[in-house]
């Protein structure tokens, strides 16, 4: 039964593709072991503390929300002892894990070394994340009748990953000769033990749940009720089956336990549960087997066989050929036979072997005991042969019920075609063998007591005693053996082995009694049995194997206590005794699931409370592992309740549901505190109700996540797990809340945050670049959250507009009427420079075109008319910034372009001499070239600035005017939309007059510069000035084309005067933005310009 259950489970579960994940390998480097934002240790920050933690039982509605499960065909969830499940089949340890470990300074302060801490990062958390993701994805799809239960697949994945990491730690190489590695080795061993216990617990939960919810959440019954159910089952399965041999009855019972046949009676639930637990504990022992324990299998394959007690045999041979026996071997064996060591032990000699035979015998029996506890009896028989002790197979292998199997008699010379013969299997004298083993067990135990009770160094006798007690089903004696009572796994194995052995013994005894009665009342039953070779003449027990009623009754009497003991009492005593020291939380959880639903409920509730409290005071050792286990158990139970009996739903709602969200948020805090684990946060956050999910992710993303690769990963996963509606809500919150000032942000600097300016960025100013505050950099960088998906571009426009408005609103008023009407052009102000950086470095080039072309509208999308309005606003702001950039460029050109150029003639030349004339001509040519170049630079800069600023003043529908009427927009008081409109109005009143003044300054100052430019020519060349001017300005070509000459100052004065038309034009909507002071200043400028133009014209007329 055991091997069938095992092979079936592994064959089906391996077909799922589990157990071979490469994600389970560990990277033990310390590069990411420290927290990116190490706040948990100090308790200074928790991204989720501000989130409401009301006990909500309804999970968030997400795209991966589970759906009711359809009918699922379950398969046995057993993980039994097979060749493939042993450590020999575990993937080799990564090379990185085989290097010696050196302690660090941090490790001296922590009980866990860097190696184990790294195992708690990506390599330890990813399997849980991937298993949960697979569960949610499976539950979101309709299940066919042939589909595997996603909940059980989830448990299996968790179990295999935990076991895999445990094996990696177990196989890790740590040099014990380095003093600082001693503590590291201790900590690694502790971590490996915890992982192994967690794996055992997942395996137990999975095996129980795979059968039914009643197996997992067991409500124990009194022993008397259980015995009545067992007796009813025995009567039902044996009725009219007295003609079957015991081996056939064994097969029938095993079929009933496996539910393989519909016509076989169903055994009591408690019996099936006990068998599952026995299979589970055997699988746990199977995992403890090492490669060395199974090395004999290679010897078997190679046909290698050992010699029993080789050194003792050689010593006896030497004594036979020697006349001097001496006293050297007086305390050693003098003859070799199977009982020799036992007889010597009864005489008080515990080590009767010569040479190394004693150690070899201990090694052999130790491996036998390990294989027996693992349920690997066939390998145990192979081991006996390899060690040269095949007689032990005959002595130990007597527990199988006897019977006859039919085979084709093709190998016999007397075979007749078509006929079959029957071969005997099992032990016809099983009852007698069982009583003999019982007496051997008690005798060996007595010997141990006489030699020193509890001493585990009693040579091979202590192993002989343990094996004999198990074979005899002598649970009482086995539980007192020092090898079987030093840890909880052995105690559980002995107890459940005894329970199931008692169950089978009752069946075999009842069956033999039925056979005896049938034979006594009806001799035809013998013929029906079909054994022509059995003589019925003068035979009291004509059916083979029925002649040991006395021994059967004795065995039942000796094991009767196993029918009266209650499992909850046993578990309670086991927990109270604490065989191997203090009972860990892992053991307590295991005991609770072994015991009853009530104990499980109580233990889980207490564990949840302690975990939530420990998140504050760190009072639980191995906090993160227990938190991880408990959370994923809750999620399993939550998934498991679908289409199950109310017993599961009640257990979940009464114990787990009220604390579900608190545990998830606590787990999220752990993930958020370790940067390598950030990529796992979206999946777990998706399990929370939407309000908690939104608030917690907003706070975490805003406060902790600054690097673009992390942001891109989180946004991508949020889109998959939250749905776009929740994701964009979080992003809007993150970006807008990031616009608030944060004290102390200067402590965190992210290299390259400002990016590199483009080569053609004419506005770049190194001094202004350094004046941008860290807080403003953070605000600008928050916009990048909205640039990872084109579907978020519309929001990126809205938020970038919001940020640029906030920077521009910080600009002082341009016109200072209290300082003789001085005008601040903001060229040295960092806020307007920062706004320019936003537009050029933090937004995608296709931002506007993609947002405008996106016609998809969802419930969470911005309204289309608002998107168009925001695009118009963005264009208006960008136009203003471009105009200011061109103004700044013009200002720089004018300030660095001299309006006068000196002419230098060699003083040695006499005036009007031929040499002087030649030199003057050359100097004039150079002067004209330089003058033209400088003037062209000023003219080009002025024209570019005029054109860029006029784009602002001539902006369609008026600069920064909303495209829609206020009635069409949400303008509730203090709302975001109302604030936007107010800010836009404020900016129009502040920036539009300033823009007009800046353009006027460009035009007026260029005219002034040109006047000085012309005057310099007249001073330099006097009578030849007009000729030089004509050559510099290309006067003839302009006049021929009928175009105003920009080299003349009147050209710029006229342009300046035309500003009055632009300001007065109603379509530009500029005039309403002017204050009385602005208008007065503007009118004065117009008057002064008119006077300058008229003065220039009068001067020309006079000349």
pLDDT of residue 764: 82
Question: 185 pLDDT exceeds 60?
Answer: yes
Least confident segment among 114-128, 854-868, 1032-1046: 114-128
User: What pLDDT, on a 0 to 100 scale, did the predictor assign at position 46?
Assistant: 43
What is the predicted pLDDT for the residue at 1018? Answer: 85
What pLDDT score was predicted for residue 89?
A: 30
> What is the secondary structure of 659-687 as a DSSP string?
HHHHHHHHHHHHHHTSGGGGGGHHHHHTT
CA-CA distance, 146 to 73, in Å (whole number)? 6
pLDDT of residue 107: 36
What span, in angstroms and rounded, lies between the C-alpha atoms of 16 and 22? 15
pLDDT of 106: 36
Domain count of the chain?
2
Q: Is 146 inside a domain boundary?
A: no
Contacts 24+ apart (CB under 8 A), 1035-1041: none
The better pLDDT of the pair 421, 113 is held by 421
Q: Note whether residue 993 is domain-resident.
A: yes
DSSP state of 427: B
Candidates 124, 115, 128, 173; CA nearest to 155 is: 128
More confident residue, 406 or 501: 501
pLDDT tens string 93-103: 333 333 322 33
Which residue among 567, 598, 620 closes a domain?
Answer: 567
Query: For residue 538, is it within any domain?
Result: yes
Domain contains 906: yes
Q: Band of the pLDDT at 13, cuts 50, 70, 90? A: very low
**Higher-confidence residue: 660 or 918?**
660
CB 1011 within 8 A of CB 1049: yes
Q: Is residue 787 part of a domain?
A: no
Q: Helix axis angle, 585-595 relative to 181-211, nearest 10°?
A: 10
The answer to whether residue 768 is domain-embedded is no
Tell me: the pLDDT tens digits for 423-435? 888 899 999 999 9
Residue 115 has pLDDT above 80, yes or no: no
> How does residue 1058 score in pLDDT terms, banded at 50, 70 and 90?
very high
- The confidence score (pLDDT) of residue 289 equals 87
DSSP-derived letter for residue 789 is S
Highest mean pLDDT among 570-584, 637-651, 679-693: 679-693
pLDDT tens digits, residue range 931-942? 889 999 999 999
347 burial class (0-12, 13-18, 19+ CB within 10 angstroms)?
Answer: exposed
CATH number of the domain at 1083, please: 1.20.190.50
DSSP β-bridge partners for residue 403: 425
Largest CA distance in the chain: 165
Structural contact between residues 437 and 472, judged by C-beta atoms closer than 8 angstroms: yes
CB neighbour list of residue 271: distance below 8 Å, 6 or more residues apart: 230, 233, 257, 500, 503
Q: Residue written as tokens 């194995």?
A: 493
How far apart are the two ends of the chain, measured CA to CA in Å?
124
Q: How confident is the model at residue 309 (pLDDT cuts 50, 70, 90)?
A: confident
Is 60 exceeded by the pLDDT of residue 78? no
Q: Is pLDDT of 986 > 70?
A: yes
Query: Is pLDDT above 60 for 55?
Result: no
Is the CB of residue 87 less than 8 Å from the CB of residue 289? yes
Comparing C-alpha atoms, which of 375, 201, 199 is closest to residue 282?
375
pTM of the full structure: 0.79
In DSSP notation, 456-489 reads S-STTHHHHHHHHHHHTT-HHHHHHSTTTSSSHH
Domain stop point among 567, 592, 618: 567
DSSP string covering 541-601 = --STT-S-HHHHHHHHHHTTHHHH--HHHHHHHHHHH-TTSSPPHHHHHHHHHHH-HHHHH
Q: Cβ neighbours of residue 353 under 8 Å, at least 6 residues apart?
A: 309, 311, 312, 332, 333, 341, 361, 459
Show the domain range for 290: 226-320+332-408+419-567
Contact present, 485 and 462 (Cβ < 8 Å)? no
Total Cβ atoms within 10 A of residue 416: 9
pLDDT beyond 60 at 919: yes
Alpha-carbon distance 802 to 98, whole Å?
55
Contact 214, 269 (CB under 8 A): yes
HSE-CB of 958 using CA atoms within 13 angstroms: 21
Sign of CA dihedral 809, 812, 813, 815: negative
Contacts 24+ apart (CB under 8 A), 872-876: 872/956, 872/957, 872/963, 873/801, 873/960, 873/962, 873/984, 874/797, 874/800, 874/801, 874/848, 875/848, 875/955, 876/952, 876/955, 876/959, 876/960
Residue 25 has pLDDT above 70, yes or no: no
The answer to whether position 563 is within a domain reads: yes
pLDDT of the residue at 85: 32
Indicate the range of 217-221, 973-977, 1027-1031 predicted with least confidence.
Answer: 973-977
Helix (H) or strand (E) holding 815, with range, is strand 815-816
- How is 697-753 classified by DSSP, letter by letter? HHHHHHHH--SHHHHHHHHHHHHHHT-HHHHHHHHHHHHHHHTS--TTGGG---TTT
- Among 82-91, 94-103, 600-609, 751-760, name the most confident range: 600-609
Task: Give the pLDDT confidence score for residue 834 in this predicted structure.
Answer: 95
The Cα 384–Cα 366 span in angstroms is 12
pLDDT in tens, 731-741: 999 999 999 87
Q: Give the pLDDT confidence score for residue 271 in this predicted structure.
A: 94
The contacts of residue 294 (CB under 8 Å, 6+ apart) are: 86, 88, 379
pLDDT tens-digit map of 523-577: 554 554 444 434 444 445 567 888 899 999 999 999 999 999 888 888 888 887 7
Higher pLDDT, 331 or 59: 331
How long a stretch of residues is the chain?
Answer: 1103
Q: What is the pLDDT of residue 747?
A: 52
Cα separation, 500 vs 489, whole angstroms: 16
Tens of pLDDT, residues 146-180: 467 888 999 999 999 999 988 888 877 666 666 66
CB 798 within 8 A of CB 862: yes
Q: Please state the rounded mean pLDDT for residues 990-999.
A: 96
- The whole-angstrom separation of Cα 1004 and Cα 1000 is 6
Rounded to 5°, angle at Cα 850 from 848 and 854: 120
Q: SS3 sequence, 842-896?
A: CCCCCHHHHHHHCCCCCCCCCCHHHHHHHHHHHHHHHHHHHHHHHHHHHHHHHHH
Give dist(CA 690, CA 728) in Å, integer.
13
Place of tokens 């975001």: 976
For residues 877 and 984, is the Cβ–Cβ distance under 8 A? no
> Considering 567, 590, 615, which residue would you say is the last residue of a domain?
567
Q: Give me the pLDDT at residue 678, please.
A: 95
* Residue 181 pLDDT greater than 60, yes or no: yes
231 in any annotated domain:
yes
What pLDDT, on a 0 to 100 scale, did the predictor assign at position 461?
86
**Predicted confidence (pLDDT) at residue 951 exceeds the cutoff of 60:** yes
**80 and 3 in contact (C-beta within 8 Å)?**
yes
pLDDT band at 240 (very low <50, low <70, confident <90, very high): confident
- The model's pLDDT over 795-804, given as tens digits with 9 standing for 90+, comes to 999 999 999 9
């Amino acid at each position: 039964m055991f091997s069938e259950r095992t092979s079936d489970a592994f064959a089906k579960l391996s077909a799922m593709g589990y157990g071979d994940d490469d994600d389970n390998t560990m990277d033990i480097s310390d590069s990411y072991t420290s927290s990116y934002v190490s706040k948990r240790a100090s308790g200074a920050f928790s991204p989720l503390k501000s989130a409401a933690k009301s006990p909500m039982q309804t999970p968030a509605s997400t795209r991966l929300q589970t759906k009711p499960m359809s009918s699922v065909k379950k398969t046995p969830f057993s993980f039994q002892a097979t060749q493939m499940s042993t450590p020999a089949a575990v993937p080799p340890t990564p090379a990185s894990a085989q290097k010696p470990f050196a302690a660090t300074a941090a490790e001296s302060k922590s009980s866990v070394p860097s190696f184990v801490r790294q195992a708690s990062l990506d390599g330890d958390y990813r399997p849980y994340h991937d298993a949960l993701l697979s569960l949610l994805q499976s539950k979101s799809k309709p299940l066919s009748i042939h589909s595997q239960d996603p909940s059980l697949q989830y448990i299996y994945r968790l179990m295999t990953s935990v076991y895999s990491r445990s094996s990696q730690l177990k196989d890790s190489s740590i040099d014990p000769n380095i003093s600082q590695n001693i503590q590291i080795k201790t900590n690694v061993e502790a971590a490996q033990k915890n992982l192994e216990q967690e794996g055992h617990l997942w395996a137990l939960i999975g095996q129980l749940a795979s059968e039914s919810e009643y197996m997992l959440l067991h409500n124990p019954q009194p022993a008397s009720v259980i015995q009545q159910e067992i007796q009813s089952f025995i009567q039902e399965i044996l009725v009219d089956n007295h003609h079957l041999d015991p081996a056939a009855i064994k097969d029938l019972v095993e079929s009933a336990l496996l539910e393989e046949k519909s016509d076989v009676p169903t055994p009591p639930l408690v019996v099936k549960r006990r068998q599952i637990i026995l299979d589970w504990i055997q699988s746990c022992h199977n995992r403890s087997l090492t490669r060395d324990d199974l090395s004999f299998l290679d010897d078997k394959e190679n046909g290698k066989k050992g010699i029993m007690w080789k050194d003792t045999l050689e010593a006896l041979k030497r004594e036979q050929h020697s006349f001097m026996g001496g006293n050297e071997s007086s305390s050693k064996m003098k003859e070799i036979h199977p009982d020799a060591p036992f007889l010597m032990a009864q005489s008080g000699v515990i080590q009767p072997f010569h040479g190394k035979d004693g150690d070899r015998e201990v090694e052999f029996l130790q491996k036998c005991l390990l294989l027996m506890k693992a349920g690997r009896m066939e390998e145990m028989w192979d081991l006996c042969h390899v060690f040269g002790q095949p007689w032990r197979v005959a002595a130990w292998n007597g527990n199988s019920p006897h019977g006859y199997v039919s085979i084709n008699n093709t190998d016999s010379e007397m075979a007749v075609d078509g006929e079959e013969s029957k071969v005997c299997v099992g032990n016809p004298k099983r009852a007698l063998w069982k009583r003999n083993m019982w007496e051997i067990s008690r005798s060996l135990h007595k010997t141990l007591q006489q030699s020193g009770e509890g001493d585990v160094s009693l040579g091979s006798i202590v192993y002989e005693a343990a094996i004999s007690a198990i074979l005899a089903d002598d649970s009482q004696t086995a539980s007192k053996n020092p090898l079987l009572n030093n840890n909880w796994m052995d105690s559980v194995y002995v107890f459940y082995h005894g329970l199931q052995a008692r169950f089978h013994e009752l069946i075999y005894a009842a069956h033999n009694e039925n056979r005896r009665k049938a034979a006594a009342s009806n001799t035809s039953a013998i013929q029906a049995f079909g054994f022509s070779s059995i003589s019925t003449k003068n035979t009291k027990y004509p059916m083979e194997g029925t002649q040991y009623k006395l021994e059967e009754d004795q065995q039942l009497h000796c094991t009767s206590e196993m029918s009266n003991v209650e499992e909850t009492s046993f578990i309670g005593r086991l927990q109270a005794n604490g065989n191997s020291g203090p009972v860990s939380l892992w053991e307590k959880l295991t005991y609770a699931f072994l015991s009853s639903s009530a104990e499980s409920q109580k233990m889980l509730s207490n564990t949840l409370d302690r975990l939530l409290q420990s998140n504050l005071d760190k009072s639980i050792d191995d906090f993160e592992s227990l938190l991880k286990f408990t959370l994923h158990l809750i999620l399993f139970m939550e998934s498991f309740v679908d289409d199950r009996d109310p017993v599961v739903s009640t257990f979940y709602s009464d114990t787990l549901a009220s604390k579900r969200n608190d545990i998830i948020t606590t787990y999220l805090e752990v993930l958020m505190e370790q940067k390598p684990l950030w990529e796992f946060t979206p999946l777990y956050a998706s399990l929370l109700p939407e309000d908690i999910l939104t608030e917690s992710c907003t706070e975490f993303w805003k406060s902790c996540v600054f690097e673009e690769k992390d942001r891109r990963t989180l946004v991508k996963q949020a889109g998959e797990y939250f749905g776009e509606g929740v994701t964009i809500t979080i992003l809007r919150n993150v970006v807008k809340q990031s616009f608030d000032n944060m004290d102390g942000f200067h402590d965190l600097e992210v290299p390259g945050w400002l990016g590199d300016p483009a080569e053609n960025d004419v506005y770049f100013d190194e001094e202004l670049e350094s004046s941008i505050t860290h807080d403003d950099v953070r605000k600008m960088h928050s916009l990048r959250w909205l640039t990872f998906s084109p579907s978020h571009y519309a929001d990126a426009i809205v938020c970038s507009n919001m940020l640029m408005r906030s920077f521009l609103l910080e600009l002082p008023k341009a016109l200072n009427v209290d300082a003789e009407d001085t005008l601040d052009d903001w060229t040295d102000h960092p806020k307007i420079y920062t706004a320019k950086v936003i537009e050029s470095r933090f937004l995608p080039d296709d931002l506007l075109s993609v947002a405008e072309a996106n016609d998809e509208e969802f419930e969470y999308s911005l309204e289309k008319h608002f998107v168009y309005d925001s695009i118009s606003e963005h264009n208006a702001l960008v136009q203003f910034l471009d105009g200011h950039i061109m103004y700044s460029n013009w200002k720089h050109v004018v300030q660095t372009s001299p309006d006068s150029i000196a002419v230098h003639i060699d003083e040695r030349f006499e005036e009007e001499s031929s040499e002087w004339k030649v030199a003057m001509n050359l100097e004039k040519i150079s002067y004209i070239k330089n003058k033209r170049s400088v003037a062209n630079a000023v003219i080009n800069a002025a024209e570019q600035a005029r054109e860029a600023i006029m784009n602002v003043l001539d902006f369609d529908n008026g600069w920064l005017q909303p495209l829609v009427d206020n009635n069409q927009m949400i303008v509730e008081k203090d709302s975001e939309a109302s604030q936007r409109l107010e800010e836009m109005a404020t900016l129009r009143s502040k920036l539009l007059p300033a823009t007009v003044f800046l353009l006027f300054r460009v035009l007026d100052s260029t005219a002034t510069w040109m006047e000085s430019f012309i005057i310099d020519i007249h001073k330099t060349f006097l009578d030849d000035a007009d000729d030089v001017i004509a050559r510099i300005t290309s006067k003839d070509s302009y006049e021929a084309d009928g175009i105003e000459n920009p080299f003349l100052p009147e050209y710029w004065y006229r342009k300046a005067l035309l500003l009055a038309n632009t300001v007065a034009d109603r379509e530009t909507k500029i005039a309403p933005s002017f204050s009385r002071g602005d208008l007065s200043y503007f009118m004065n400028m117009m008057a002064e310009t008119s006077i300058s133009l008229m003065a220039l014209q009068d001067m020309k007329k006079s000349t």
